[in-house]
């Protein structure tokens, strides 16, 4: 199974488990993430969730060889990024969170990261587009020029930089398991509070801050159509799979 779950009291720990592919998201992982997050929402005894990777990596994003499968009814892409949740979800990041992996992080409510974690949006280096929310969530979470830097250069930023900018809530040591332990502890702290109050607070924050999401998804879709049939997109993916530098055609 590419997604594993574990109950820790009122906390659901969700682990992406495809380390041989750097937790790249294919159709099976999308289905697994969707099922796990449906459980988090539907089980009244689960009050918070922690989403993590396989220790050495959070996620490299979409599996470019096989695709990430169809968006799910409740979660959208990856079963995550268009989901309206009432249970807080904490990203516990070790290693890299690139492309769709970082877009999943941006879709979470809180972020705990190892000091050695790295975050990136390398889509422009592949001839593709950040289609899973980063075009509007990155400039919401980051200063605009930093979001531009990530989206236009494709270069990653380290956890300590994102902590200084307020994206990462808690930095942890690099000891194995430290990030997940800290994320679970943060989730348990949330669970000491009234679940009704937490749920309604999260919904209120979502309604206040995510009011522009519909427009963001619309613009993202329009820009995607502009690159979907481009020669650059085909070349970028081919170069990635062939492990060579792309030869851009600009068309």
Tally of domains within the chain: 2
Same domain, 41 and 129: yes
The CATH number assigned to the domain holding 132 equals 3.90.226.10
Whether residue 58 contacts residue 101, with contact meaning beta carbons closer than 8 Å, is answered with yes
- Tell me the pLDDT of the chain averaged across its residues: 95
Higher pLDDT, 65 or 34: 34
106 occurs within a structural domain: yes
pLDDT at site 250 = 86
225 occurs within a structural domain: yes
Measure CA of the first residue to CA of the last residue in the chain; give whole Å.
40
- DSSP characters over 146-189: HHHHHHHH---EEHHHHHHTTS-SEEE-SSTTHHHHHHHHHHHH
In this predicted structure, the answer to whether residue 136 has a pLDDT above a threshold of 80 is yes
In this predicted structure, the answer to whether residue 251 has a pLDDT above a threshold of 80 is no
In the structure, what pLDDT confidence band is assigned to residue 181 with cuts at 50, 70 and 90?
Answer: very high
Same domain, 225 and 163: no
Average pLDDT over residues 166-186: 95
CA dist 225 → 129, 168, 240, 248 (Å): 10, 32, 21, 19
How many helices (H) and strands (E) are present in the chain, helices listed first? 9, 9
Same domain, 168 and 236: no
Same domain, 58 and 139: yes
In this predicted structure, the answer to whether residue 179 has a pLDDT above a threshold of 90 is yes
Instruction: Print the domain residue range for 114.
Output: 3-172
The model's pTM: 0.94
In the structure, what pLDDT confidence band is assigned to residue 207 with cuts at 50, 70 and 90?
Answer: very high
Average pLDDT over residues 212-217: 90
For 57: left if phi > 0, alpha if psi spans -120 to 50, otherwise beta; the answer is beta
Instruction: Please say which residue of 122, 152, 172 terminates a domain.
Output: 172
In the structure, what pLDDT confidence band is assigned to residue 189 with cuts at 50, 70 and 90?
Answer: very high
Same domain, 122 and 230: no
Cβ atoms within 10 Å of 64's Cβ, excluding its own:
17
pLDDT tens digits, residue range 93-134?
999 999 999 999 999 999 999 999 999 999 999 999 999 999
- Catalytic residue IDs: 123
Same domain, 125 and 226: no
Same domain, 25 and 130: yes
196 occurs within a structural domain: no
- Label the pairing between strands 3-8 and 11-16: antiparallel
Task: Please tell me whether residue 246 adopts helix, strand or coil conformation.
Answer: coil
Whether residue 16 contacts residue 54, with contact meaning beta carbons closer than 8 Å, is answered with yes
């Amino acid at each position: 199974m590419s997604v594993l779950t574990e109950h820790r009291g009122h906390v659901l720990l969700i682990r992406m488990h495809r380390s041989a592919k750097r937790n790249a998201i294919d159709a099976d992982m999308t289905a697994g993430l969707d099922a796990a997050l449906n459980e988090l929402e539907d089980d009244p005894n689960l009050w918070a969730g922690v989403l993590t990777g396989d220790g050495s990596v959070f996620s490299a994003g979409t599996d470019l060889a096989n695709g990430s499968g169809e968006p799910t009814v409740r979660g959208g892409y990856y079963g995550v990024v268009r989901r309206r949740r009432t249970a807080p979800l904490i990203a516990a990041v070790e290693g890299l969170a690139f492309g769709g992996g970082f877009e999943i992080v941006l879709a979470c409510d809180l972020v705990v990261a190892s000091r050695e974690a790295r975050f990136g949006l390398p889509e422009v280096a592949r001839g593709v587009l950040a289609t899973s929310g980063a075009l509007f969530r990155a400039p919401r979470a980051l200063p605009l020029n930093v979001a531009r830097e990530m989206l236009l250069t494709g270069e990653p930023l380290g956890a300590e930089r994102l902590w200084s900018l307020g994206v990462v809530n808690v930095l942890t040591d690099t000891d194995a398991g430290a990030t997940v332990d800290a994320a679970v502890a943060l989730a348990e702290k949330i669970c000491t509070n009234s679940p009704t109050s937490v749920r309604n607070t999260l919904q209120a924050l979502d309604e206040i801050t995510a009011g522009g999401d519909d427009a963001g998804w619309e613009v993202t879709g329009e820009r995607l159509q502009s690159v979907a049939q481009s020669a650059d997109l085909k070349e970028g993916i081919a170069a990635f799979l062939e492990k060579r530098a792309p030869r851009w055609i600009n068309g």
